[in-house]
Structure 1
Amino acid sequence: MGADHAERVAHRVSGARLVAVSDADAARAGDLAARFPGVRAVTDPLALVADDDVDAVVVASPGAAHEEQVLACLEAGKHVLCEKPLTMDGESSLRVVRAERAAGRPLVQLGFMRRFDPEYARLKAVLDSGRLGRMLLLHNTHRNKSVPDTFRSEMIVRDSLVHEVDVARFLFGEEITEVTVYSPAPTSAAAEGVVDPQVSVFRMQGGAVVTNEVFVTNQVGYEVRCEAVCERGSAMAGRPWADLYTTVAADDGEGLWGGGVPADFLGRFARAYDLELQAWADASRRGEVVGPTTWDGYAATVVCEAGMRSLTTGEPASVTLVDPGPAS
């Protein structure tokens, strides 16, 4: 993800210039920097944040490093785009929210890129227009072709379902109050002991229900879509009958309806990432933040913590958000 963002900033984001990269693997950072003329590899990520040549920072490190690195950006007064999750638990995410408020101005945008995907953005606009009436149900589908064996059951909640959490909050404009995660019989393609697929249900603050299927070893490709069911109709983002689907001839002479499926999220959401990074760069130059905030990151982390509790117990888990207090 970091390498992809580096390439994006260097070649596809106007008004921004890539000046330095950092990685826990120094050789890896050096190899990446060498791809871009004049770009430096910095061993210490906190030194990169403090570097006078750096005006803004993209944090695409593992989630366990996010709190320290984002807090360093806040202390330095630099805008930061932080990939999800904000942090690994609600307590540390709340510390980041409070630190940003204490700094006196918003500086952090969370990397929930689906908000920038053209289809999701159009869906949000249709729902907000009121043409379809009140949204009653939301159905999310999230499928990966495969994941490493180290990708365990709780990671399906924390690292995959987190996107559906943000989609639900974004489209409804309200909080999730309860999560239930169900464990169907796992696919034979899943690693030993991993619950995959998972089906979860969110209860929204206004009483609506959200269903989510997350299947990370479906062996086909990367599929992400959602359908909003409203009082006077429905609308879908990521529809499977988009232009990439065509009629083809099979070897046996029978006609088949189908088409390609993206291999991973980089293909499916390439445009969303481009729009996200451009919006972030433009806002940073203006001294503003657009898109998901630290509060969105905190809320998503707390919902996922509840989801992991439900995964363990099989029972509904309530979601409790803490008021971070007023900004300074």
Structure 2
Amino acid sequence: MALDVGVIGVGMIGQEHVRRLDGGPGGSRVVAVADADAGRAATVAGRLPAAKALPSGEDVIASDAVDAVVVTSWGPTHEPYVLACIAAGKPVFCEKPLATTQQACRRIVDAEVAAGRRLVQVGFNRRFDPAHRALKQAVDDGTIGAPLLVHCAHRNASVPQHYTRDMSIADTAIHEMDQLRWLFGQEITAAQVFTPRRSSRGGELQDPLLVLFEMADGVLADVEVSVNVHYGYEIRCEVSGESGTVELAEPAPVRVRREGTVAGLVPADWRERFTLSYDVELREWVDTVVAARPPGGPSAWDGYAAQVVSDAALQSLHAGGRVAVELPERPGLYR
């Protein structure tokens, strides 16, 4: 069967998802869109053969024509839209963050548990990146022995003027928070943020940051967050184990040797680096919805856990020191 999807929020990432979903995996098509900018919603709908622009996200969720919903609107709107999808019994793919506070995330978890079925998938796309999947496979297979240390870097060429110090944690490093939990299948138990010498390229922004995470089994993971490196977009991860190491390979598709130099192309931004992961992510989500299976990707619990870790890291950023991550017992629905 074809899956008829409604999309709430058709900014940059929303339009990326619309492009993938309309006539895409499993015969999915976009039949309804809504956006705070009604003109933009009308423009996007006008480019699609079966889509209508509806007045609000609530109208998209309530529409009988919509089988499943994709939420890519502004972060603070995620909670009410996801809760409305759960109440309507409709599967929902919500871009990260699940919500902007851990309390809001917990309300979503509680609503899903009360409904008795998993309907929510959160858009932590690295779990679907072939390179990250190969990295996890090597860790799971014991190829490098027991993991001991992890070294990560999350580097952006630049960020908008409205980007704040807190966003380095809550919007950027949160990807590594989910990645580490998924990579090792366990929770992060503590976080500490260090502020090295500030780059002159970041203006008044404290950039870079170094975040140290403690995993439940004692593995330590350091994450460099640099958002004004200028040379491009780069994601690094190396796991050091008892008998070897495994790391993400260079993302450059080609290497050029000329005039005494060797050079590889660096992705310009996240869209270039993670194109395939978004393709796989949405294809697998559509497949699970069509098959009436629980989503196989990051759950509402994963969105909640990442937000709790983010809040601990933000506390360390503002007050200093090591901050313990305190999570309640995971509900049975997510075990």
Shorter-normalised TM range? over 0.9
> Over aligned residue pairs, what C-alpha RMSD do you find?
1.3
From 273, 276, 300, the equivalent of 2:278 is 273
Asked if 1:161 is matched to 2:173, the reply is yes
Secondary structure at the counterpart of residue 141 of structure 1? strand
Asked if 1:230 is matched to 2:236, the reply is no
How far 1:324 sits from its partner (Å)? 6.1
The letter for the 1-side match of 2:319 is T
In 1: Cα distance, 2:332 partner to 2:156 partner: 40
Higher relative contact order (CA 8 A, sep 6+): 1
In 1: Cα distance, 2:229 partner to 2:25 partner: 33
The letter for the 1-side match of 2:264 is G
Partner of 2:214: 203
Asked if 1 retains the 8 angstrom alpha-carbon contact of 2:69 and 2:93, the reply is yes
Asked if 2 retains the 8 angstrom alpha-carbon contact of 1:15 and 1:282, the reply is no
Partner of 1:14: 26
Partner of 2:292: 287
Unpaired runs of at least 5, structure 2 = 1-12
The letter for the 1-side match of 2:253 is L
Asked if 1:303 is matched to 2:309, the reply is yes
Asked if 2 retains the 8 angstrom alpha-carbon contact of 1:202 and 1:210, the reply is yes
From 233, 250, 253, the equivalent of 1:244 is 253
How many residues are paired up?
A: 320
In 1: Cα distance, 2:77 partner to 2:99 partner: 8
| Structure 1 residues 206-217: aligned runs within 5 Å | 206-217=217-228
In 2: Cα distance, 1:285 partner to 1:11 partner: 15
Deviations 1:298-325 (A, max 9, x none): 0000000011111111211111112365
How far 1:131 sits from its partner (Å)? 2.5
From 259, 265, 276, the equivalent of 1:260 is 265
Asked if 1 retains the 8 angstrom alpha-carbon contact of 2:252 and 2:267, the reply is no
In 2: Cα distance, 1:113 partner to 1:76 partner: 25
Going from structure 1 to structure 2, the CA distance change for 1:228 and 1:325 (only over 3 Å counts) comes to: closer
TM-score (norm 2): 0.93
Secondary structure at the counterpart of residue 107 of structure 2? helix
How far 1:129 sits from its partner (Å)? 1.3
Partner of 1:70: 82
How far 1:33 sits from its partner (Å)? 1.2
Unpaired runs of at least 5, structure 1 = none
The letter for the 1-side match of 2:137 is A
The letter for the 2-side match of 1:303 is V
Partner of 1:144: 156
From 171, 184, 188, the equivalent of 1:172 is 184
The letter for the 2-side match of 1:318 is A
In 2: Cα distance, 1:293 partner to 1:195 partner: 32
How far 1:15 sits from its partner (Å)? 2.6
In 2: Cα distance, 1:202 partner to 1:245 partner: 34
